[in-house]
């Protein structure tokens, strides 16, 4: 019976039922509702890719998402393998976990979403001694609270950005640095780091580049340019990127040098500013339509693999400056004049070993001066290599030796 029919034929019953429904004494409808689909199950832990009967003493923990995590892990995996260390990769993002299983099927890797899941993984690792942290993510706290383990921050590069020396890094027992530069950033900070043990171990992923850069940069190859703009930053105040005029940089440098150019945008590009999400694609279209002698590299490409193929570097304020420094060739760094640059202060400044520019005219002027023979920062670069990279420690494989020492 419809509501209207019931109201006309039996008004008392209609209003009585309405009142009872309002009081919750009757169901709102007698029609059976369709069963709701069961929510998709969420995996919180996966340890199926680990043989826990092995003696695993070292853990590399990454709390990053896939894009950042893959770029930070790729340089370290070969180093731990070279040291013949039994290690476990402990990841907190499921997509990153699945990617590692595909790309490195022979690696021991576990996934733990929550803090309680981390505890469960650690309970299966009685031989664990040391945890390494390539980045400072909030979920690192789920591991640093375990007092029986040694916690070592290794980072994923060397940079004067403020994030390279801040109070959160006091969580760790040790900070392994490439050279003296990173240690000085902490010593020049305004907080106490007396409890942190600093260990200089060089930059193992730059060892081959250092070894191959013994000859003068003009004698290695014809001019080849690598352009590495950083992303737009988490907030506009820390946006030190040249990406807003990267098209002009690519075009004008091409016109000036007539040299092959590689362009690699930061994996985070477009993370804050959606307009920049298609930057790589738009650059590829320009390169194709204007027949430029250039190539846009995928964001996932490991920088150290392409640095040896170039001898002119154009960068923004970021960790890639130190990686390019290993090639001992001219580096041109964009420093915007309209911003207060907040960096962790080391004892060697950018202008001591990099050619600083703030607009396209200044960049072209300094490149012209350098390629015409006036590489006036050549000696400054050599000092910076020792200071930031740890020349002797890198060539001596100090990082690998330390891994072998603590895992034996």
Question: What is the four-CA torsion angle of 249, 255, 257, 263, rounded to 10 degrees?
Answer: 40
pLDDT tens digits for 94-150?
999 999 999 999 999 999 999 999 999 999 999 999 999 999 889 999 999 999 999
Residue 3 has pLDDT above 90, yes or no: no
pLDDT, mean over the chain: 88
Give me the pLDDT at residue 32, please. Answer: 46
Q: Is residue 20 pLDDT above 50, yes or no?
A: no
pLDDT band at 6 (very low <50, low <70, confident <90, very high): low
**Percent of the chain scored above 70 by pLDDT?**
87
The residue that leads in pLDDT, 327 or 408, is 327
Q: Residue 238: its pLDDT value, please? A: 81
What is the DSSP-derived secondary structure letter of residue 243?
G
Please report which confidence band the pLDDT of residue 163 belongs to, taking 50, 70 and 90 as the band edges: low
Which DSSP string do the residues of 45-101 spell out, in sequence order? EE-TT--TTS---EEEEE---HHHHHHHHTTTHHHHHHTT--EEEEES-HHHHHHHH
**Terminal alpha carbon distance of the chain:** 82
Segment (H or E) for 385:
none
Q: In what order do the strands lie in the sheet with 174-177?
A: 45-46, 108-112, 87-91, 58-62, 130-133, 150-153, 174-177, 197-200
Q: What is the pLDDT of residues 330-385, one digit of tens each?
A: 999 999 988 887 766 788 999 999 999 999 999 999 999 999 999 999 999 999 99
pLDDT tens, residue by residue, 277-312 = 999 999 999 999 999 999 999 988 888 899 999 999
Tokens of 205: 């992923």
Model confidence pTM above 0.85:
no
Strand partners, 46: 111
Quick one: pLDDT at residue 362? 98
Which domains can be identified in the chain, with CATH numbers? 53-207+394-407 (3.40.50.11720), 208-390 (3.40.50.2000)
Residue 377 pLDDT: 98
């Amino acid at each position: 019976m419809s509501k209207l029919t019931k109201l006309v034929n039996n008004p008392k019953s209609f209003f009585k039922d309405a009142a009872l429904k309002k009081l919750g004494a009757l169901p709102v409808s007698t029609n059976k509702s369709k069963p709701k689909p069961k929510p998709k199950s969420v995996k919180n832990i996966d340890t199926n890719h680990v043989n826990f009967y092995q003696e695993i003493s070292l853990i590399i923990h990454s709390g990053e998402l896939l894009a950042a995590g893959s770029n930070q892990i790729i340089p370290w995996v070969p180093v731990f393998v070279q040291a013949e260390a039994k290690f476990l990769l402990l990841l907190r993002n499921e997509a990153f976990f699945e990617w590692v299983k595909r790309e490195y099927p022979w690696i021991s890797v576990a996934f733990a979403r929550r803090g309680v899941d981390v505890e469960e993984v650690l309970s299966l690792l009685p031989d664990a001694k040391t945890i390494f942290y390539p980045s400072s993510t909030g979920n690192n706290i789920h591991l640093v609270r375990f007092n029986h383990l040694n916690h070592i921050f290794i980072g994923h590069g060397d940079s004067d950005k403020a994030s390279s020396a801040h109070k959160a890094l006091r969580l760790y027992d040790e900070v392994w640095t490439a050279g003296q530069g990173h240690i000085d950033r902490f010593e020049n900070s305004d907080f106490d780091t007396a409890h942190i043990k600093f260990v200089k171990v060089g930059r193992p992923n730059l060892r081959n580049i250092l070894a191959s850069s013994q000859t003068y940069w003009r004698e290695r190859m014809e001019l080849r340019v690598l352009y590495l703009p950083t992303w737009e930053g988490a907030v506009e105040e820390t946006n030190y990127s040249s990406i807003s005029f990267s098209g002009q940089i690519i075009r004008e440098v091409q016109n000036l040098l007539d040299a092959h150019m590689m362009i690699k945008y930061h994996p985070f590009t477009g993370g804050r500013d959606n307009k920049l999400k298609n930057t790589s694609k738009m650059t590829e279209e320009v390169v194709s339509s204007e027949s430029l002698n250039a190539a846009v590299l995928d964001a996932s490409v490991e920088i150290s693999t392409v640095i040896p193929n170039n001898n002119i570097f154009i960068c923004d304020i970021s960790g890639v400056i130190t990686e390019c420094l290993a090639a001992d060739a001219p580096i041109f760094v964009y420093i915007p004049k309209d911003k207060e640059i907040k960096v962790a202060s080391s004892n060697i400044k950018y202008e001591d070993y990099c050619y600083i520019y703030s607009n396209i005219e200044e960049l072209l002027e300094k490149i012209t001066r350098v390629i015409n023979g006036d590489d006036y920062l050549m000696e400054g670069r050599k000092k910076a290599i020792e200071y930031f990279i740890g020349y002797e420690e890198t060539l001596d494989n100090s990082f690998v030796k330390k891994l072998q020492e603590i895992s034996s």
